[in-house]
Amino acid sequence: MAEIRIENLTKSFGAHRIIKGVSLTVPDGDFCVFVGPSGCGKSTLLRLIAGLETATSGKIFIDGRDVTALEPYDRQLSMVFQSYALYPHMSVRENIAFSLRTGKIPKAEIEAKVAKAARILRLEDYLDRKPVALSGGQRQRVAIGRAIVREPKAFLFDEPLSNLDAALRTDTRVEIATLHSSLAATMIYVTHDQVEAMTLASRIVVLCEGQIMQVGTPRELYERPANVFVAQFLGSPKMNVLPAAIVEGKLALQGNGLRLKAPPGWNGLASVGLRAEDCSITSPEKGALVGTVALCEYHGAGQQLFVDLGEVGRIAAFASADQKLKIGEKIGIGFDVEKLHPFDSNGARLGG
């Protein structure tokens, strides 16, 4: 396997600049997830690494070798796409072995590699079936098997679970995580789904408009987002962001007369972030915030509330499953100041 490093990479389509000077190192054996909204450049960045797109400027290194000008095959990478792209007239065995046969690999070696991939992906009972006789999850595992047998320097995944239903996405996500653990392979995975990013990645790269917003472990990004964009992109429901300021050394929330002790380093404060799970539901007279229940969603283990705070807007909060709440009810919301995330007027986190 190999380290992948990109330096000052840019990509333009005519006058439209898609990737804007991205630099990043993906360590050997890392599971790196590119995540961001549609149009942020994550798939383009993956295709640049794969060699399916030509960089406008910058460098790409794989295992210390400059591959910027190399053809895709010469980069020794395997890519798994959103579409399975299986040959319908071939069996699972033939689909997995196809690239090896075209590479004139000895038959015994092909059989051994196919058998190993089938064992890893639990496809041994399906090797003689055609793709039409497989479920979506099984087809995606065949596509992954086809990538495994090539023994690449790294695996690239471009939204591989997008065509699966919710249950299959969860099952296949677990299989991909297990695969990474067993192979200790370098993997780069593109998704717009922040749940996939948080559960799969050893390192997440959050992209917006062709630029990196933050790089870190899922815990680092969730607990200390670098800016409002990252804070609201990772987490479901998205982080609540409330207008705030430091007034005479105290934390003041817009539309609320409450003054709280402000942590040091919060000068320049323009807003604070508060996650739904950090809200506690209380009576109106005990709440730091007071609002009206606009929507209450029962999730089995708990309830997700949307609470109207008047001029401040609407925020999300969690309540226990046994709390009896109804739409239109006035409630209080409490929180620990230490759980707040401070942001300046540009949306950047205060205090680093």
Cα(207)–Cα(193) distance, rounded to whole angstroms?
A: 13
pLDDT band at 141; cut points 50, 70, 90: confident
Give pLDDT, residue 282. Answer: 93
Q: Is the pLDDT of residue 69 over 80?
A: yes
Q: Do 210 and 274 reside in the same domain of the chain?
A: no
Q: Do 191 and 254 reside in the same domain of the chain?
A: no
Q: Which of 175, 196, 227 is the C-terminal boundary of a domain? A: 227
Q: Is the pLDDT of residue 1 over 80?
A: no
Q: What CATH number should be reported for the domain holding residue 250? A: 2.40.50.140
Q: Do 53 and 154 reside in the same domain of the chain?
A: yes
Here the tokens at position 331 are 């409630």
| Cβ-Cβ contacts under 8 Å for 125 (sequence gap 6 or more) | none
Cα(92)–Cα(140) distance, rounded to whole angstroms?
A: 11
Assigned domain for 309 exists: yes
Assigned domain for 332 exists: yes
Task: Tell me which DSSP letter residue 227 carries.
Answer: B
Cα(161)–Cα(136) distance, rounded to whole angstroms?
A: 9
Q: Residues 204-235, buried b or exposed e (16+ Cβ, 10 A)?
A: bbbbbebebbbbbebeebbeebbbbbbbbbbb
Here the tokens at position 175 are 């299989």
Q: What CATH number should be reported for the domain holding residue 77? A: 3.40.50.300
Give pLDDT, residue 263. Answer: 86
* Tens-digit pLDDT profile for residues 46-59: 999 999 999 999 99
Cα(210)–Cα(91) distance, rounded to whole angstroms?
A: 40
Among 18-22, 81-85, 230-234, 341-345, the range scoring the smallest mean pLDDT is 81-85
* Tens-digit pLDDT profile for residues 280-297: 999 999 888 999 999 999
CB 203 within 8 A of CB 33: yes
Give pLDDT, residue 176. Answer: 87
Q: Do 55 and 178 reside in the same domain of the chain?
A: yes
Cα(305)–Cα(150) distance, rounded to whole angstroms?
A: 49
Number of domains forming the structure of the chain: 2
Range of the domain at 85: 4-227
Q: Do 253 and 222 reside in the same domain of the chain?
A: no
* Tens-digit pLDDT profile for residues 174-212: 888 988 988 889 999 999 988 899 999 999 999 999 999
Q: Do 249 and 206 reside in the same domain of the chain?
A: no
Q: Which of 206, 227, 248 is the C-terminal boundary of a domain? A: 227
Assigned domain for 43 exists: yes
Torsion sign (Cα): 244, 304, 320, 282 = positive
Q: Do 285 and 247 reside in the same domain of the chain?
A: yes
CB 60 within 8 A of CB 6: yes
Assigned domain for 135 exists: yes
Cα(116)–Cα(57) distance, rounded to whole angstroms?
A: 40
Assigned domain for 234 exists: no
Q: Which of 227, 253, 283 is the C-terminal boundary of a domain? A: 227
* Tens-digit pLDDT profile for residues 206-254: 999 999 999 999 999 999 999 999 999 999 899 999 999 998 888 988 7
